[in-house]
């Protein structure tokens, strides 16, 4: 047992006894006296006093340590006493429990011994009863068995006696008989005679049988041969029959199949027949119903026919009126119109040119029927007014929406010219010739479609298409680029017609068969695509492959009304002009060719502007002859013709000078 715990274990004592504490008032801290007289004595006293004090302190420390140990022991003792008390209590409890259990056990034991005694007694009585019963039954059985044994032995003895008797009797009889037979045998001795007779009989019998057998064998052989022949014949026949059977089987099978399909079909037909019968019945009943009102209906039908005829005529009159009105509207909008189109940024232009805020398009002014565009060239603002302005977000379909009316006019027999003007890269070709939705492509679709509508009113149309370019004042046929023909422009001033000699012309009769029309418009598209690819291109400072020629798509539209016998001829000219950019001072003119080209383009564009301007201001002299282009289009520009010019501009800041030039020229055309 551990007696002392080391104080280092930081045990907190539960004892109430206070521990001795050293304070500043303790004798240890008394000051030394500073006395010279009794220096020695006092020194001695002080020394012994100090020793005593130290001793006292040590004793006190020892006492304190002891007390601490004692406290710890006391605490431990207290805890142990508590534990002991608890164990005592537990022990008492267990003791009483044990007592109770013992008592209960004793009672149970007594109960059990009583019970087992009782059972033993019962068992004893039962066993005795059983033994008595057993003895009784044994005695009874023994007597019964004895009785039966006696009876049986008696019965067996009598039976044995009877049998012995009858057997003896029959033995005697048999012996008698044997003796009798023996005697008889002794009397009769025919053995030899019998053997001879039997042999003779056998010989006769055998020869007869042999002959008979031979004959029958022969006939049997013959018969077998016959049968064999017949058998092979039959076998052959059988194989033939088998084949035939097989073929028949197959035939039957196919016939069965056919039968089932036929049956199926016939079922169907029957059901349709019954349906038809039913509808016939229905119709018959309807006819019966209506036969009463038939004359009335006939009368009504004739009335309707008359009315339809009247309406037809009215409709035709309306159609002529529509043409006139449509033209009036177009004239009111102005026979010469100038539109502007600002193309969107392409490729990475927006990122590099940073031109946002240089070009502003104002909303359309419906009252004035005009729209304004303002260009900021960093020095000043330039404002221009047009009949309409298309912005970056407007696509070719929106542009074409405005052209529809002009195309319709050309179907109605008026001449129409549409131009795209602008510097290279400003979107002229995109507007006019874009493969999917350029003006030319949409025009073809529209004409094919609209001519279909007019067909219902009796109009038949024929188209004649030419596609040429003017390069350096020379005409080239884009539909027949290989041929090196000379082309001359010829006007018939009386008829107001123009002809370019030696060009390839495509004639298309609109049939109003939908498939045919789709095929035709595809054919024209392909021709235009090919023609456009052959356009002359040459490098300029603007870009490497820019078009330096005007392309002119010409379509003559001839209409004939088979009901009213009216005729109409309209001309539609769709012109993609050459790039309008000026030669720059600093640009090196590499060849005489390029100089000539540029001069010719500038001249023809200026001339076109002059012509349109003069027409718009109804001047008496119009300088058509100054360029090939204006001369070619003379008859399509005069009289009631309609002219539309698109000024294409680029949003690129680097093109701002050319943009302003283009807009200035357009303003000159538009206002003068």
The 10 Å CB-count burial string (b at 16+, else e) for 492-530 is: eeeebebebeebbeeebebebeeeebeebbeebbebbee
Closer by beta carbon to ligand ADP, 569 or else 652:
652
> CA of 269: how far to CAs of 254, 257, 279, 426, in Å?
22, 18, 15, 70
Among 410, 648, 659, 670, binds ligand ADP (CB under 6 A): 648
Among 323, 337, 388, 428, binds ligand ADP (CB under 6 A): 428
Q: Does 532 bind ligand ADP (CB under 6 A)?
A: no
CA angle 572, 639, 451 (to 5 degrees): 35
Residue nearest to Mg ion (CB): 429
The 10 Å CB-count burial string (b at 16+, else e) for 338-373 is: bbbbbbebeeebeeebebeebbebeeeeeeeeebbb
292 is an annotated ligand-binding site residue: no
Please answer whether residues 611 and 624 qualify as being in contact, where contact means their C-beta atoms are separated by less than 8 angstroms: yes
Cβ atoms within 10 Å of 326's Cβ, excluding its own: 16
Among 344, 391, 452, 496, binds ligand ADP (CB under 6 A): 344
Closer by beta carbon to ligand ADP, 138 or else 657:
657
> CA of 387: how far to CAs of 538, 602, 612, 634, 661, in Å?
33, 25, 15, 23, 18
For 26-38, where are the alpha helices, taking DSSP H only? Answer: none
Q: Does 652 bind ligand ADP (CB under 6 A)?
A: yes
Q: How far is the CB of 543 from ligand ADP (least distance, A)?
A: 4
Please answer whether residues 472 and 627 qualify as being in contact, where contact means their C-beta atoms are separated by less than 8 angstroms: no
422 binds, among Mg ion, ligand ADP, none (CB under 5 to 8 A by kind): ligand ADP
Q: Give CA–CA dist 505/560, Å, rounded.
A: 20
Contacts with 184 (C-beta within 8 Å, 6 or more apart), sequence order:
none
* Span near ligand ADP by CB under 6 A; candidates 11-19, 95-103, 142-150, 539-547: 539-547
428 is an annotated ligand-binding site residue: yes
**Local structure of 454: helix, strand or coil:** helix
410 is an annotated ligand-binding site residue: no
* Span near ligand ADP by CB under 6 A; candidates 124-132, 341-349, 454-462, 558-566: 341-349
> 652 — phi, psi (to 5°)?
-70, 130
**Local structure of 586: helix, strand or coil:** coil
Among 72, 327, 337, 343, binds ligand ADP (CB under 6 A): 343
Q: How far is the CB of 658 from ligand ADP (least distance, A)?
A: 9
Q: Which helix (H) or strand (E) holds 416?
A: strand 415-421
Q: How far is the CB of 528 from ligand ADP (least distance, A)?
A: 14
Closer by beta carbon to ligand ADP, 500 or else 542:
542
> CA of 109: how far to CAs of 121, 425, 590, in Å?
18, 126, 142
Among 425, 531, 559, 570, binds ligand ADP (CB under 6 A): 425
Closer by beta carbon to ligand ADP, 408 or else 423:
423
Closer by beta carbon to Mg ion, 408 or else 580:
580
Q: How far is the CB of 585 from ligand ADP (least distance, A)?
A: 19
Residue appearing with tokens 């076998």: 235
Q: Does 655 bind ligand ADP (CB under 6 A)?
A: yes
* Span near ligand ADP by CB under 6 A; candidates 101-109, 128-136, 544-552, 605-613: 544-552
Residue nearest to ligand ADP (CB): 425
Q: Does 410 bind ligand ADP (CB under 6 A)?
A: no
613 binds, among Mg ion, ligand ADP, none (CB under 5 to 8 A by kind): none
Closer by beta carbon to ligand ADP, 506 or else 542:
542
424 is an annotated ligand-binding site residue: yes
324 binds, among Mg ion, ligand ADP, none (CB under 5 to 8 A by kind): none
In the shown chain, the binding pattern of residues 603 to 642 toward ligand ADP, with x for contact by CB under 6 A and - for none, equals: ----------------------------------------
Residue 531's Cβ-count burial label (10 Å; 0-12, 13-18, 19+) is buried
> CA of 568: how far to CAs of 497, 556, 557, in Å?
13, 10, 8
Instruction: Write out the binding residues for ligand ADP, residues 551-610 only, by CB under 6 A.
Output: 579
Count interface residues toward ligand ADP (CB under 6 A): 22
Q: Which helix (H) or strand (E) holds 230?
A: helix 191-291
For the chain, how big is the Rg over CA atoms in Å? 72
Q: How far is the CB of 511 from ligand ADP (least distance, A)?
A: 34
302 is an annotated ligand-binding site residue: no
Q: Which two tokens stand for residue 637?
A: 């520009």
Q: How far is the CB of 528 from Mg ion (least distance, A)?
A: 14
537 is an annotated ligand-binding site residue: no
Q: Give CA–CA dist 575/553, Å, rounded.
A: 6
Q: Which residue, among 367, 360, 326, has the nearest Cα to 340 in the 3D structure?
A: 360
Q: Does 545 bind ligand ADP (CB under 6 A)?
A: yes
Q: How far is the CB of 614 from ligand ADP (least distance, A)?
A: 26
> HSE-up of 572 (CA within 13 Å, CB side)?
23
Closer by beta carbon to Mg ion, 386 or else 430:
430
β-bridge mates for residue 571, sequence order: 415, 556
Closer by beta carbon to ligand ADP, 344 or else 496:
344
For 490-627, where are the alpha helices, taking DSSP H only? Answer: 514-533, 592-616
Q: Give CA–CA dist 458/397, Å, rounded.
A: 29
Among 335, 396, 429, 503, binds Mg ion (CB under 5 A): 429
Instruction: Write out the binding residues for Mg ion, residues 490-549 only, by CB under 5 A.
Output: 547
Instruction: Write out the binding residues for ligand ADP, residues 32-51 only, by CB under 6 A.
Output: none
Q: How far is the CB of 646 from ligand ADP (least distance, A)?
A: 10
User: Given the rule CB under 5 A, which residues bind Mg ion?
Assistant: 428-429, 547
User: Given the rule CB under 6 A, which residues bind ligand ADP?
Assistant: 343-344, 346, 422, 424-430, 537, 542-543, 545-547, 579, 648, 650, 652, 655
Binding residues for ATP: 422-429
């Amino acid at each position: 047992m551990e007696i002392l715990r080391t104080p280092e274990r930081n045990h907190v004592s539960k004892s109430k006894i206070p521990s001795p504490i050293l304070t500043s008032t303790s004798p240890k801290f008394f000051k030394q006296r500073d006395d010279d007289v009794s220096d020695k004595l006092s020194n001695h006293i002080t020394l012994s006093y100090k020793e005593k004090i130290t001793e006292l302190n040590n004793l006190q420390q020892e006492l304190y340590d002891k007390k601490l140990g004692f406290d710890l022991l006391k605490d431990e003792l207290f805890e142990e006493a508590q534990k002991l008390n608890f164990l005592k209590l537990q022990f008492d409890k267990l003791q009483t429990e044990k007592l109770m259990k013992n008592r209960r056990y004793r009672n149970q034991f007594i109960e059990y011994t009583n019970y087992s005694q009782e059972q033993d007694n019962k068992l004893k009585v039962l066993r005795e009863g059983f033994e008595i019963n057993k003895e009784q039954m044994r005695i009874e059985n023994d007597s019964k068995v004895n009785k039966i044994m006696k009876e049986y032995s008696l019965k067996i003895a009598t039976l044995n006696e009877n049998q012995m008797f009858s057997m003896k009797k029959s033995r005697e009889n048999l012996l008698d008989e044997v003796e009798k037979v023996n005697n008889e045998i002794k009397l009769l001795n025919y053995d030899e005679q019998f053997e001879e007779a039997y042999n003779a009989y056998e010989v006769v019998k055998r020869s007869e049988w042999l002959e008979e057998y031979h004959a029958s064998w022969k006939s049997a052989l013959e018969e077998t041969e016959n049968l064999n022949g017949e058998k092979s014949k039959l076998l052959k026949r059988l194989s033939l029959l088998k084949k035939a059977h097989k073929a028949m089987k197959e035939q039957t099978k196919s016939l069965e199949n056919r039968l089932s399909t036929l049956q199926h079909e016939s079922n169907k037909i029957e059901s349709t027949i019954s349906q038809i019968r039913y509808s016939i019945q229905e119709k018959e009943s309807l006819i019966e119903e209506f036969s009463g009102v038939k004359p009335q209906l006939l009368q009504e039908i004739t009335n309707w026919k008359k009315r339809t005829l009247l309406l037809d005529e009215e409709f035709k009159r309306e159609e002529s009126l529509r043409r006139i009105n449509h033209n009036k509207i177009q004239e009111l909008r102005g026979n010469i119109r100038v539109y502007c189109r600002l193309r969107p940024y392409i490729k990475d232009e927006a990122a590099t040119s940073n031109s946002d805020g240089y070009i502003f398009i104002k909303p359309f002014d419906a009252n004035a029927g005009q729209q304004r565009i303002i260009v900021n060239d960093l020095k000043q603002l330039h404002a221009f007014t047009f009949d309409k302005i298309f912005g970056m977000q407007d696509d070719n379909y929106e542009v074409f929406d405005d052209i529809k009316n002009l195309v319709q006019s050309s179907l109605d027999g008026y001449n129409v010219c549409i131009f795209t003007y602008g510097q290279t890269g400003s979107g002229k070709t995109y507007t006019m010739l874009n493969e999917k939705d350029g003006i030319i492509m949409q025009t073809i679709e529209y004409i094919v479609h609209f001519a279909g509508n007019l067909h219902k009113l009796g109009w038949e149309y024929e188209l004649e298409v030419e596609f040429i370019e003017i390069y350096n004042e020379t005409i080239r046929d884009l539909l027949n680029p290989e041929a090196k023909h000379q082309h001359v422009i010829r006007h018939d001033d009386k008829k107001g017609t123009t002809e370019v000699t030696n060009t390839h012309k495509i004639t298309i009769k609109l049939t109003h068969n939908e498939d045919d029309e789709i095929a035709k418009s595809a054919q024209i598209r392909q021709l235009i695509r090919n023609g456009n690819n052959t356009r002359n291109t040459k490098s300029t400072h603007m870009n490497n492959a820019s078009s330096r020629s005007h392309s002119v798509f010409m379509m003559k539209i001839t209409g004939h009304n088979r009901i009213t016998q009216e005729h109409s001829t309209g001309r539609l000219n769709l012109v993609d002009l050459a790039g309008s950019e000026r030669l720059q001072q600093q640009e090196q003119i590499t060849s005489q060719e390029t100089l000539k080209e540029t001069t010719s383009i500038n001249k023809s564009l200026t001339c076109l502007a002059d012509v349109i301007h003069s027409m718009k201001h109804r001047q008496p002299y119009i300088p058509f002859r100054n360029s090939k282009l204006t001369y070619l289009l003379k008859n399509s520009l005069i009289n009631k013709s309609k002219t539309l010019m698109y000024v294409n501009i680029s949003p690129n800041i680097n093109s701002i000078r050319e943009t302003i030039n283009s807009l200035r020229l357009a303003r000159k055309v538009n206002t003068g």
